[in-house]
Structure formats: structure tokens, C-alpha cells
Amino acid sequence: MKRYSQYTIEVGDLWDVSFWKKADTMDLIYIVYGLFIVILVVVSYVLGALSLLPHNPQEINLELLMAPPNTAGHLLGTDFMGRDILSRLIIGIQAYFLPGLLAIAIALTAGTIFGVLAGYWGGGLDTTTTYISNLLNSFPRLVLILLMVAAFKPDIYTIMLVVGVTNIPAVASLIRSKILFLKQKNFIEAAMALGLKSWVIIFKHILWHNCRAILIIQATLGMAEAILMETSLSYLGFGVQEPTPSWGNMVQAGANYFMQGNFWPSTAPALAILFTILGFHLLGDGLNNILEGKRG
Amino acid sequence: MKLSAIRPIALLLARELAITALLILGVSFVVFIIIYLSPGDPFGTLLKGQTTLPNAPENIRGALGTPPAWYAQYLSWLVNMVQGDFGTSTRTGLPVLNEVIRVGINTLYLTIGSMMVTLLIAVPVALFAARRGQTPVNWVLTMLAYVLSALPVFWLGYIAIYISMHHFGLFPLAFASSAQKWSWLYFMFPVLVLGLSNGTTSEVVRFLREEMSRVFSEDYIRTARAKGASIWKHSFKEGFLIPITEIIASKIPFILGGAVVVEQVFNWPGMGRMAWQAAQDRDFPLIMGITLLAAVFVRMGSLLQRFVHILVNPRASKE
Amino acid sequence: MNSRPVLKIENLRTFFYSKGKRAFVRSVDGVNLRIGKGETLGIVGESGSGKSVTALSIMGLVPGEPGVIIGKIGLKTDNIQKNLLQDLRDYVKINMSTGRIMEVYKDNVGWQKNVDRVMQGIRGTEIAMIFQNPKLALNPFIPIGKQITESIRINTPIKKRSQARERAMYWLAKVKMDSPRLRYYNNPYGLSGGMCQRAMIAMALSSDPSLLIADEPTTGLDATIQSKIVDLLADLKSSVGVTTMLISHDINVIKALSDNVAVMYGGTLLEHGPVGIILSAEHQAKHPYTAALLESIPREKHIREKGYLQAIKGDVLDTINIPLGCRFYSRCDKVTEKIQEKCDNHEPDLREISSGHSLRCWLYYE
Ligand SMILES: Nc1ncnc2c1ncn2[C@@H]1O[C@H](COP(=O)(O)OP(=O)(O)OP(=O)(O)O)[C@@H](O)[C@H]1O
Ligand code: SF4
Ligand SMILES: [Mg+2]
């Protein structure tokens, strides 16, 4: 039992740092909000897939046009054709959820492969991947998709494939710089000196132990990206077409009524987009701050 | 600066130029391949509404002769482009180059203007946060940046149009006529809307704040404080100039994407709207021209960033 | 010590809060010092003994992380009228009887602003500092000459750019920079470490400070460059005669340049006195730690390779859990049975055992 001098400070004594200054607290709030949104989206997706909806999203009710929220059993009101907005919002998730997952899967898988190739083996591979990613980054994504639309009249899955492919460089460069960082810390050399096989080092030590946070964060941000893309395209009329609802075409369809002062049918899906994208962004950044220690 | 220092820098700049040229060449190839692989028949789409003859497309095809191999097509397309001939729009019959440049200028104005708006919001927030750390004010501002970034740009556009209609009596269709009383507002709204909600604000804040705080903890900033000099002055190049050009360059594609939507909302006669039209009409020469020009914009932004990086940073020439 | 001291420190404590360990790292823990006019005080001690943090505390440059800094620092005065830390203690509440920190309401922003306000007109002007690692400490984006000119224009009456430039050239020549007129326009990256350190020295001296703090000016340089820098400092000492606080691992550097020496360990001074007494091998009455340090000199080459000084058996003191007794107790080989109980349980105070020579060891207290 060692005795220490009188200045030994005990944990309980300190810290009257105000709420705002505790970066961690803020990050936790970000994450909690983000997780709430993620759960809401997933649950709604499942409900939509099982058709467990408060109303039939396609049921037209000419008696009850553009009802405000909470009228006659319509929790979020009705749109310009008397259709239940809540049900349409829930069904609207079908438009981006699976396609978004596809985009994420492509970006993460291929991004990881290219990142490892460039970072671990480096050399000519590194230069080549850099050029390819510069090339992909040269296209404004929406313009590239319009080009694809003109060329192939693709469906939403094909479009999300393009979104995924154009996201590859971002993921790859993150993985690559992480590996370079580990190299610089002689981490990889040490692992090799232990006689570990390359694939063990790559999969277990690099990807699993050091890159999973990056991948989770990128998946989160990728979903935000997918939602943005789908809503923009549906808004432009190239995505999901009326009467099948998607958040983007719901905003668009409500536009004329918006100009006449009936804000709600357009605003409800717009708010859904806002809160959902916000949730994914905050989740990604909050995780980044805590897992990758950006704010120390 | 001494002469011997200029030579390597000139070489580096030349290298960047060459890389840019190479990348634009690559872009043109990708664009070509996408169109080449397309299953449709651009002439068919065009003629559908214009002629009643059942086999007009085949006749035209026949008159044009069999298409040459793909690389020959690409080369001749490329050679024509280098000579300034981007073909003619299949819909309007106008030369693509003129059309694209005409609308490109409008889009450039929209893009640069909205970038300014974004920076005007993001930079003060980021610098404040870098210097002051977490404060309530700061937290509110950062949150605001997040909300702005998540705001669907088209919906914000509706609000702007609604306001302009009901408060200033302006109508979207009136864009071309600038005789109205508040018409200058109509040039401002799209820029403001795109600037506010192009989805990059929070990232700009984040990036700039992190770079600035990193530089603030560098040894040389401590030296500056030790001699009583301004830390802003000493951190300007590494903490502000380099990151800001970097983030601008990397966000140009996003803003151009947002421009497509905003131009649609506001009836703004820019590249995005033209691309939208071209995609609907499957007007291949036009959309190829637009994609190329958009890519050139992006590359020019990157080129600018690389130039700043090389000129400002004495270490760059050692890299 | 007849003249008024240029710098006087009383009971300086600088603690950092370590989030991971949830405790304070007591990097500087009760340092008392005085530096007389024209004197060069050398501070030696192993890595991590708190030398740099002491220097940074004087300059008010302690990183703005959670922590505590208390004590008194006075400049050019005997009874500490101008206390450079004056208002800083307002940011902590301390139970004075136990010394326990009850509450820290340091808001870093306000604290830093406060420091900056208090230190305005002192940093650069009154106290100048030379850092180790000159290549990183000079702004890589600005030619060295311009950085010196800037310092001159801020800290001296010379405000005109052209005059300041002439002055900067003069100082570049004075620190024996080869072809100063060309070097003036060079960015640090193009210069060697030695040249950068010369530029740092020129920058520090160019503002004609009352006190120069040199924190390991030779560490990280090649051996030959090191000795050249030492020669330069010795030269400047005789020609410019600025009061200096010189921090170094290298006992030879301290020996060559200082008048008085303070030996630091675990955040406090263990011994303080004239260089002739403390660092000479013949003089017998010295602190066991100093003796151990001196014995480690033959292995100096080894120190250079490692970049830090640790030739004494055992580990450097863990400054989170500071033992109750003598800080050096766990590594001391001079403990006698008679004093062992004291060494283990009571910290010796810094007592003067002969004129100008004080130390902290039970061995010498009768
Ligand atoms: N910003 C900080 N945050 C937390 N701990 C710190 C900080 N700065 C210094 N310390 C701690 O304070 C102690 C003393 O550091 P200091 O740099 O003063 O040592 P030093 O005597 O200068 O050693 P060296 O010879 O290696 O420079 C170290 O243990 C270090 O870990
Ligand atoms: S007080 Fe005791 S333990 Fe400390 S140095 Fe002196 S003899 Fe050693
Ligand atoms: Mg040090």
C-alpha cells in the first residue's frame, strides 16, 4: 500500500465544466438522435414492406383534400388528392432504403479493396487508384446520373449503383490514409515481424481493428447521400413516378398547392427528408468524433 | 523569391496542367463509352414527334452509312471537339458548344455566388469554433449549419418562390424579362437558396474548424505567440488558405449537382436545366457537351487548388 | 544575490488534467527560483521533469487544456508586484489547508484571453524564448528574415519596415549566419536545423529582451552543430550579456554557459547553486540525484542517441502519484538507516546549506 502526498487529486473533486464544453456530451446527443432516426427508418421500412399502414396510401378521398395534421384519423393530414400523408411517407421509404443499401455495399466493398491495394501495396497501384478516383470525382454526380438516364433510362437500383461507384474513391482514400498512418507508426512492420500472414494483418488487424469505425461512419453518411440522391431524382421526375410515393415526388407534387398557400402536402415530406438526413449526418459525425477522436 | 526557386515551381504547375488535361481526356472517354453503350436510338426519339413516316429512322441511318468501329468514332469525336465542334443538338439543331457556353455562364454565376453564400456562413462559424472551442453560441451555430445542410434544396426554393410571388409580385416565368420592379431579387434568390442548402455547409465548418485548430497547436504558432505576433496572421496560410481552397475544390461537384435542382425550381436557364431537358429528350450531343463542361469546371477548381497549394506552400515542392 | 532579480518565481504549480487517468499530472509542483540581472541560470533534469512546462508557464504559453496553474511569477522586482499569473488563480478554487483542488472552473477561452492580456507587452518584449526543434518552431510559410523583421517591429521602437529589415540583417550577421542577405529570404524548409536555430536566436535577441529563455537550444541537432551553437551562445553571452534561463539535458552545455544551476526532478528543484559547486566533480556536498546525474556523463553519447537523459537506474518519477516523502527516495542509493524513516515519509524542504547553495535532502540537515 503506497501512500501519496497530500495533493493527490481524487476523481470526484473536480470539474465544473459546463455542459456545452463537454464535447462528448454533444456527440452523444448527436448519436442518440441519429440512432433514433435510423431505428425509425428501419421500423417504418419493415412496416411498409408488411403493408402495416394506418391507411391505404393510394386511397383517394375527394372529401378530405389537404387536411391539416390530425384530422379524421389522419395523423399527418392528407395530400391534394386526400391520400393519407403518413402512410405515403412510410411507403416512400421503400424508394430509397434497399437501393441505398446497395449503394453503400458497393462503396464500402470496392472502396475497401481499392484502399487496401493502394495503401498496403502502394507504388504503381497507389498512383493508378489516385487517378481513377480523380477521374470519378471529376463528374458532378447528378450530372453523371442524368447522362446515365439519357443513355440507359435506368431504374433506381442502377442509379444507386452509380452513386455507390462514385462513392468508392472517398472510402478508398480514407482506408488508404488509415493504412499509411499505421505504416508510419510501424504498426504493420511490427505485425509482419511477428510472422503474421498478410491476409491476417489486412483483415484482422487493419480492417477489423482499425477501419471498422471508418466503415460504419461511411455507411451512415452513404445512406444520407442515397436519400439525397433519390429525393433529388424523384423531384426531377427521373426516379419513382407518381402515384407510387417517394419523398422527392411528394414534395414535387405538392408544389402547385404550395404556391397557393397550402404548404403542408409539400412540407411534410420535406421535413421527413430534413430530419432523416440530419439524423444520418449527426450519427456519422458523432461517431467520427468519438471513435476516431477528432476532438480528442 | 529567387530565380532558382521559380523553376521547380513552374515545373510543378506544368505537371498539374498536364494531369488536368489527362483527366479531362479520361472524362471524355468515360462519357463516350456510356453513350456508346446506350441501347437506345437518339434519332428515333427525336423523330417520333416530327415525322409520321414509319421507317424514317432507318432511312436516315442508311443515308449516314454504317457506323465505324468504336475507337474510330471516339477519335473522330475527340478530334472534332478539339477543333471546337461538339456537334449539334439533336433536338434544336443548334451547335452544342455555343449552347453549352451560353448556359454555362449562368450556371457559373449561380455556382460561384452560392459558394460565396456558403462560405459567408461557414467561415465565421468555423473560425469562431476553432478559437473559442465549444460555447453555447457556437453550438447553436453549428447545429444551424447541420440543419441547413440537410434541408432539401427544392423545398427551400419553394419558400423563396412563394415569398417572391406574394411579397414582391415576381413570377418564375418572368426570369427573362428584367423589367419588373424587384427583378434583381430574382437573380439573388436562386443563389441564396443554393448557397444556404447545397448540403456542404456543415462539412465546410467541420473541415475548416479542424484544420484551423490543428494549426493553432503547431509549434510555430506557439513561437508567434511567444513573440507577441498575431496568431491569425501566422496561421492564415496553412490554417485557412490551403484548407479553404481544398474544400471549395472538392465541393464543386456537389454544388453543380445542387444547381441542377435549383435551376429546375427557379426556371434558371443554366446547364443543369439544360441537362435535365437533354436527359428527357435523350439529346446525346448536348448532354455529352454538358457533362464535359461540368467536368471541366470541376477540374478547373482542383487545378486552382493545386496551384494555390504549390504557390503558397514551400514544402509542396519537396513532396 | 545582491541586485534585484530579473525573474522571481514563487511556488509555481502547473498541473494538467489527464482525462484517461482521471487525475492531475503535476508537471511543475512548487518551484521557487530567482534569476539575477546578467546571470545565466541553467536548469538540468531528466526528461519529463517539468523543465519545459516551467518555461512555458513563465511565458503564459501552457497549452489551453484542462489544468491548473498557480503561484507567483514576478518580473524585474523583488516583492512580486507585477505578478504574471496574477488573475489566473481566480480560475481554480483550492482548499488552502489541504492543498486539494476543490473545483476547477477554468474556462479555457477566458483563461487564455486573460493570459494573453496579462502577457501583452511582456512576450517578446521583456521575455523572449528559443524553442527546441527550430525547424518546426519557425513558420514554414514565411521567410526567416521576415519573421525576424516582424518581431523587431512588434517589440522594439523600430517601426519602419526598411529599418527593421536592416536590423534583422544585423542580427542575422551577429548570429554568424552565412550570407545573411540571401538567407533573409529563405523559408525554414530550405535551411538546416542549425541555421534555423541561429535564426531563432537572432529573432529572440533582436527584440532586446530582459530575459531570454532557451529551452534545449541544442537538442536535436548534430553533435558538431551543437557545439557551434554553444560557442555562439557563449559569444553572445559575453557580447550581448542578456539574462538567460537555459534549459538543457546536456550537462556540458550547462557547464559551459551558466553561472548558476538548478537541478529539477519530478516537478521541483532538488538543488540550486553556483555552477562551480553543483557541477564540479570535486565538490562533495551535493544532492544524491545531482551526483547520479554527473556520474552519467560518460555515457553522454548514449544520451544523444536516445535524445533524452536517463542514465540513472529506475524510472522517472510518475508525476501523478507523487510519494509522500522525498521524491527521489525510490531511486536514491545514499539513504542511511538514520534518515530512512524521514526520507520515506517527509519531503525535505529546500534549505541553504552554504552561501547561495541550497538543496533538498535529509542527508544535509542536522
Ligand atoms: N499539455 C500537456 N498535457 C498533459 N501533460 C503534459 C503536457 N505538457 C507536458 N505534460 C507532462 O508534463 C511533464 C513534464 O513535461 P516537460 O515537457 O516539462 O518535461 P521536460 O523536463 O521539458 O522534458 P524534456 O527534456 O523531454 O523536454 C511530462 O510528464 C509531460 O507528460
Ligand atoms: S532525502 Fe533521502 S531519499 Fe531524498 S535524496 Fe536525500 S537521502 Fe536520498
Ligand atoms: Mg522539454
Are residues B260 and A232, on separate chains, in Cβ contact within 8 Å?
yes
Higher-pLDDT residue of B58 and C328 is: C328
Which residue of A lies nearest to C30 if distances are taken between CA atoms? A7
Query: Burial code of A37-66, b = ≥16 C-beta within 10 A, e = fewer?
Result: bbeebeebbebbeeeebebebeeebeebbb
User: What's the mean per-residue pLDDT of chain C?
Assistant: 79
Please report which helix (H) or strand (E) contains residue C29, including its range. strand C23-36
pLDDT at C29: 83
Separation of CA C27 and ligand 1 centre (Å): 6
Q: Whose C-alpha lies nearest to ligand 2, atom 2?
A: C343
Residue B171 belongs to domain spanning = 102-318
pLDDT of residue A277: 93
Binary contact (B202, A281; C-beta < 8 A): yes
Question: Which chain A residues are within 8 Å of C318, Cβ to Cβ?
Answer: none
Split into its structural domains, chain A has a count of 1
CB within 8 Å: A13 and C321: no
User: What is the reported pLDDT for C158?
Assistant: 86
Note whether C323 contacts A5, CB cutoff 8 Å: yes
Q: Exposure of A1 by Cβ count < 10 A (0-12 exposed, 13-18 middle, 19+ buried)?
A: exposed
Domain count along chain B: 1
CB contact under 8 A, A142 and B162: no
* Nearest CA distance, C57 vs chain A (angstrom): 20
Question: pLDDT by residue (tens digit) across A119-135?
Answer: 888 778 888 888 888 89
Assess if residue B51 is contained within a domain: no
Listed range (B18-22, B114-118, B234-238, C342-346) with the worst mean pLDDT? C342-346
Taking all residues of chain A, what is their mean pLDDT, rounded to a whole number? 81
Question: What are the C-alpha distances in Å from A27 to residues A18, A22, A296, C365?
Answer: 15, 9, 12, 56
Confirm whether A147 is domain-assigned: yes
Beta-carbon separation of B295 and A142 below 8 A: no
- C neighbour chains, 3+ CB pairs within 8 Å: A, B
Domain containing A182 — which CATH number?
A: 1.10.3720.10
Whether C79 shows a pLDDT value over 70: the answer reads: no
Q: Please check whether residue B57 lies inside any domain of the structure.
A: no
Contact B88, B285 (CB under 8 A): yes
Nearest to A273 by CA among B151, B191, C94, B51: B151
Q: Could you tell me what percent of chain C has a pLDDT over 70?
A: 79
Q: Which ligand 1 atom sits closest to the C-alpha of C16?
A: 4
For chain C, the domains span: 287-364
Asked if the C-beta of B165 comes within 8 angstroms of chain A's C-beta atoms, the answer is yes
Structural domain contains residue A14: no
Q: How far apart are the C-alpha atoms of C277 and C271, rounded to whole Å?
A: 11
Q: What is the CATH number of the domain that holds B187?
A: 1.10.3720.10
**Which of C329, C338, C342, C345 most suits a substitution to test ligand 2, by most atoms within 8 Å of the C-beta?**
C329
CB contacts of A5 in chain C (<8 Å) are 322-324, 347
Q: What's the predicted TM-score (pTM) here?
A: 0.84
Q: What is the reported pLDDT for C150?
A: 92
From residue C159, alpha-carbon distances to C128, C142, C184, C205 in Å are: 19, 19, 18, 17
Percent of chain C with pLDDT over 90: 13
Q: How far is the CA of C71 from the centre of ligand 2 (A)?
A: 26
Contact between A230 and A100 under an 8 Å Cβ cutoff? The reply is yes
pLDDT of residue C191: 85
Highest mean pLDDT among A16-25, A143-152, B84-93, C77-86: A143-152
- State the Cα–Cα distance between residues A179 and A129, nearest whole angstrom: 15
What's the Rg (C-alpha) of chain B? 24
A198 or C110: which carries more pLDDT confidence? A198
CB atoms within 10 A of CB C59: 22
Q: Is residue B14 part of a domain?
A: no
Q: Is residue B148 part of a domain?
A: yes
Q: Is the confidence at residue B27, as pLDDT, over 80?
A: yes
User: If pLDDT is split at 50, 70 and 90, which confidence band does B280 have?
Assistant: confident
Of C136, C150, C204, the CB nearest to B220: C136
B194 touches A at CB < 8 Å: no
Nearest-CB residue to A259 (from B165, B282, B295): B165
CA distance A98 to A45: 9
How far does A261 lie from chain C, in Å, by closest CA?
47
Whether A176 maps to a domain, the answer reads: yes
Residue in chain A closest to B202 (alpha carbons) equals A281
Given the CA of residue C332, which atom of ligand 2 is nearest to it?
A: 8
Look at B261 and A190; give whichever has higher pLDDT: B261
ipTM for the whole predicted complex goes beyond 0.90: no
pLDDT tens column, C116-174: 777 777 888 888 999 888 888 999 888 899 999 999 999 888 888 999 999 999 999 98
pLDDT of residue A278: 94
Residues 6 or more apart whose Cβ sits within 8 Å of residue A226: A96, A99, A100, A103, A104, A160, A163
pLDDT in tens, C215-234: 988 887 788 888 888 888 88
Q: What is the pLDDT of residue A214?
A: 85
Neighbours of A289 (CB within 10 A): 21
- Going by pLDDT thresholds of 50, 70 and 90, the confidence category of residue A11 is very low
Please provide the DSSP assignment of A176-244 as one string.
Answer: HHHHHHHHHTTHHHHHHHTT--HHHIIIIIIIIIIIHHHHHHHHHHHHHHHHHHHHHHHHHTSSSPTTS
Regarding predicted confidence, which is higher, B229 or C3?
Answer: B229
Q: Give A205-256 pLDDT, tens digit per residue.
A: 888 878 888 888 889 989 998 898 888 888 888 877 777 888 888 888 888 7
A147: cell is 447522362
Nearest CA to ligand 2 atom 3: C329
The per-residue b/e assignment along B2-25, b for 16 or more CB within 10 angstroms, e otherwise, is eeeeeeebeebeeebeebbeebbe
Looking at residue C102, what is its pLDDT? 45
* Grid cell for residue A168: 468508392
> Helix or strand or coil: residue C215?
strand
Using the beta-carbon criterion (under 8 Å), do A274 and B206 form an inter-chain contact? no
pLDDT of residue A19: 42
Give which of C228, C225, C148 is closest to C181, Cα–Cα: C148
Note whether residue A205 is domain-resident.
yes
Residue among C53, C264, C315 to mutate when testing ligand 1 (max atoms within 8 A of CB): C53
Ligand nearest to the CA of C264: 1
Exposed/middle/buried for residue B220 (C-beta within 10 Å: 0-12, 13-18, 19+): buried
Residue found by looking up cell 434558371 in the block: B268
- With CA atoms as reference, the chain C residue closest to A5 would be C324
Give me the pLDDT at residue B126, please. 92
* Distance between CA atoms of residues B204 and B148, nearest Å: 12
Contact criterion met (CB < 8 Å) for A255 and B282: no
C23: pLDDT strictly greater than 70: no
- How many beta-carbon pairs below 8 A join chains A and B? 162
Q: Measured from the CA of C50, which atom of ligand 1 is nearest?
A: 18
Buried b / exposed e over A133-148, threshold 16 CB at 10 Å, is bbbbbbbbbbbbbbbb
- Whether C150 sits inside 8 A of B132 (CB atoms) is no
- pLDDT value of position B123: 93
Q: Which residues of C touch B222 (CB under 8 A)?
A: 61, 131, 137
Q: Quick one: pLDDT at residue B180?
A: 57
Instruction: Decide if C17 touches A, using CB distance below 8 A.
Output: yes
CA distance C100 to chain A (A): 6
Provide the pLDDT confidence category of residue A7 given band limits of 50, 70 and 90: very low
Rounded to an integer, the average pLDDT of B202-214 is: 90
Q: Which atom of ligand 2 lies nearest, measured to the CA of C287?
A: 5
Q: What is the pLDDT of residue B93?
A: 78
- Stretch B268-280: mean pLDDT: 88
3-state secondary structure of B181: coil
**A170-208, pLDDT tens digit by residue?**
899 889 888 888 888 777 778 778 878 888 888 888 888
**Region for C247 from its dihedrals, namely left if φ exceeds 0, alpha if ψ lies in -120 to 50, beta otherwise:** beta
Residue B94 predicted with pLDDT over 90: no
Taking one residue from A and the other from C, the number of pairs with CB-CB distance under 8 angstroms is 49
Residue A77 has pLDDT above 80, yes or no: no
A178 touches chain B (CB under 8 A): no
Ligand 1 binding pocket (C-beta < 6 A) is: C 16, 25, 27, 45, 47-53, 63, 65, 249, 308, 319
Cα of B173 to nearest chain C Cα, Å: 52
CB contact under 8 A, B227 and C150: yes
Q: What's the Rg (C-alpha) of chain C?
A: 21
Nearest CA to ligand 1 atom 6: C16
Name the residue range of residue A149's domain.
96-292
Nearest to B38 among A20, A151, A237 (CB): A151
| pLDDT value for B54 | 61
Task: Extract the runs of DSSP E, i.e. beta strands, from C206-356.
Answer: 211-215, 243-247, 260-265, 268-274, 351-354
**Residue B36 bridge partners (DSSP):** none
Lowest mean pLDDT among B169-173, C207-211, C360-364: B169-173
Residue A296 has a pLDDT of 34
Which segment, A56-60, A81-85, B156-160, is predicted with the most confidence on average?
B156-160
For residue C62, give the chain B residue with the closest CA.
B222
pLDDT above 60 for C104: no
A216 vs C170: CA distance, rounded Å: 58
Percent of chain B having pLDDT more than 70? Answer: 81
Q: Hey, which residues 227-256 in chain B have their CB within 8 Å of chain A?
A: 250, 252-254, 256
Q: Whose CA is nearest to atom 30 of ligand 1?
A: C48
C-alpha cell at A48: 411498409
Q: Which of B220, B234, B319 to mutate to test the interface with C (most CBs of C within 10 A)?
A: B220
